[in-house]
């Protein structure tokens, strides 16, 4: 099927273009409306999307797909489907799999997790709807005692990044190193930093460590009678890692930063010109620890939701450029897991399918940043961190304001409706999990379609925009218009 999406606005310039692509009928399409699966659908159609935005697909440097080890929570198929539905074209899978993705521990079939994920699409018999890369564990078994051995994962680095022994053939390369879920320990930090520098990888560090506590320390924790997690637990790791970057030149990326003190330390590090970047997550922009009172375990995460003052500091840090990018920390859990109460339930929420809307509402609709800047935070900046491809739409050849993707394989794109209103309904998610704090939120900003390698992989094009009536025939082909 050949599709012409008509009247799109380019995300950076606002210029109007039509986008033409072939939709492979043999490829599985994640289609929420059925609009592009009508019986008797023709070979060519035109769909009016006037006013919607064409942008590079989002990239997420921080997801947990639980595969292998906890596939009752999520697996590669459902995780990638959720990513495509959220407008993502590339994700980085973090290493807290079971066994850990350290290049050494082996599964029951004898493969390491890296080998398993390299083989996954071949074993599945079809490509997944998003590109994915891997983050290797900083320590063996993620136990924080012995650094992982670069000899166990070096061959999976991108071509030319490490040594002559690297064939550069990995379909899903190792692009970062982390023990996420936990900070890299003091015991292993220097060795991990050397391995990262030698391999040309950034350390993605869980910039927070505590041995007790369930939610943010403050009036809410005291009201609930629960041990709290002080903000200082984040600042301590941030300051340690900034010192590492200062002493050694190691590239350090600080994950899910959430406190005013940590953001101030990062500002100062950037003023020094240190190789330090940071991310925050949608939930730290939209929520604070007061929301735990009504949301319960759906608002339990690590780092915990912080005070309203910290939430406001997070918003300011995005507005002033201290925050380099937005990542979801997509962390699926079962309903039974989250039913255990704040003292027993695991940390984490899912975020891929709500990230754009929540960020659009918290940042763009509020007037803090432009929509263009939001795209940079969710697409260009993560690509720059990881060295992944990003589609430069403005550089793509076009004729008569038409971008034709036919025959190309370097186009990860998303079509966005910044003013589209919808209500979050977790029962309609593509993820296996339902652990979202945004259930029943009325939000503005919707992903309408996601394109991977010039092929439509996700569609939320409403049926009322596609009228399958035949209008005329041209050169022996049927032409269908909205």
By annotation, the residues acting in catalysis are 329
For 51-61, b where at least 16 C-beta lie within 10 A, e where not — what string? ebbbbbbbbbb
Name residues whose C-beta falls within 8 Å of residue 384's C-beta, 6 or more positions apart in sequence.
none
- Burial, 143: exposed, middle or buried (Cβ in 10 Å; 0-12, 13-18, 19+)? middle
How far apart CA 149 and CA 252 sit, in angstroms, is: 19
How far apart CA 463 and CA 449 sit, in angstroms, is: 13
How far apart CA 9 and CA 119 sit, in angstroms, is: 38
From 267, 302, 306, 265, select the one nearest 288 (Cα to Cα).
306
Tokens 């595969």, residue located: 67
How far apart CA 322 and CA 320 sit, in angstroms, is: 6
Packed helices 76-85 and 113-124: angle between N→C axes, nearest 10 degrees: 70
Which is it for strands 252-255 and 228-229: parallel, antiparallel or unpaired? unpaired
């Amino acid at each position: 099927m050949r599709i012409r999406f008509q009247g799109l606005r380019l995300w950076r310039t606002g210029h109007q273009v039509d986008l033409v692509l072939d939709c492979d009928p043999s490829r599985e399409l994640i289609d929420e409306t059925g609009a592009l699966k009508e019986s008797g659908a023709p070979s060519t159609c035109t769909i009016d999307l006037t006013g919607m935005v064409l942008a590079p697909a989002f990239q997420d440097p921080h997801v947990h797909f639980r595969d292998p080890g906890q596939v009752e929570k999520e697996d590669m198929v459902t995780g990638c489907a959720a990513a495509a539905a959220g407008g993502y074209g590339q994700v980085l899978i973090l290493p807290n799999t079971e066994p850990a993705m350290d290049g050494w521990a082996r599964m029951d079939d004898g493969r390491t997790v890296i080998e398993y994920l390299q083989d996954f699409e071949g074993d599945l018999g079809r490509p997944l709807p998003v590109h994915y890369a891997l983050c290797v564990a900083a320590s063996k078994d993620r136990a924080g005692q012995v650094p992982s051995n670069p000899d166990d994962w070096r061959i999976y680095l991108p071509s030319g990044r490490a040594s002559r022994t690297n064939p550069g053939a990995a379909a899903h390369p190792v692009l970062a190193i982390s023990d996420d879920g936990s900070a890299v320990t003091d015991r292993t930090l220097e060795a991990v930093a050397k391995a990262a520098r030698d391999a040309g990888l950034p350390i993605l560090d869980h910039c927070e460590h505590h041995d007790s506590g369930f939610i943010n320390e403050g009036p809410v924790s005291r009201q609930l009678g629960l041990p709290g997690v002080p903000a200082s637990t984040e600042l301590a790791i941030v300051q340690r890692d900034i010192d590492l970057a200062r002493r050694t030149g190691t590239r350090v990326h600080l994950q899910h930063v959430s406190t005013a003190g940590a953001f101030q330390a990062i500002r100062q590090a950037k003023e020094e010109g240190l190789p330090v970047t940071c991310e925050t997550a949608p939930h730290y922009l939209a929520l604070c620890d007061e929301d735990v009172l009504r949301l319960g375990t759906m608002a339990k995460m690590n780092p915990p939701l912080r005070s309203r003052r910290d939430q406001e500091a997070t918003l300011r840090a995005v507005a002033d450029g201290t925050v380099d990018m937005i990542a979801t920390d997509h962390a699926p859990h079962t309903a039974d897991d989250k039913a255990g109460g704040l003292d027993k339930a695991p940390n984490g929420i899912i975020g891929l399918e709500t990230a754009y809307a929540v960020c659009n509402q918290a940042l763009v609709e509020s007037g803090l940043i432009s929509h263009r800047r939001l795209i940079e935070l969710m697409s260009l900046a993560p690509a720059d961190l990881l060295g992944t491809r990003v589609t430069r739409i403005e550089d793509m050849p076009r004729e008569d304001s038409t971008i034709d993707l036919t025959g190309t394989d370097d186009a990860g794109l998303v079509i966005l409706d910044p003013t589209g209103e919808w209500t979050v309904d977790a029962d309609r998610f593509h993820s296996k999990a339902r652990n979202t704090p945004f259930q029943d939120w009325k939000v503005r900003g919707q992903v309408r379609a996601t394109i991977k390698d010039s092929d439509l992989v996700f569609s939320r094009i409403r049926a009322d925009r596609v009228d399958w009536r035949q209008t005329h025939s041209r050169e022996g082909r049927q032409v269908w218009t909205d």
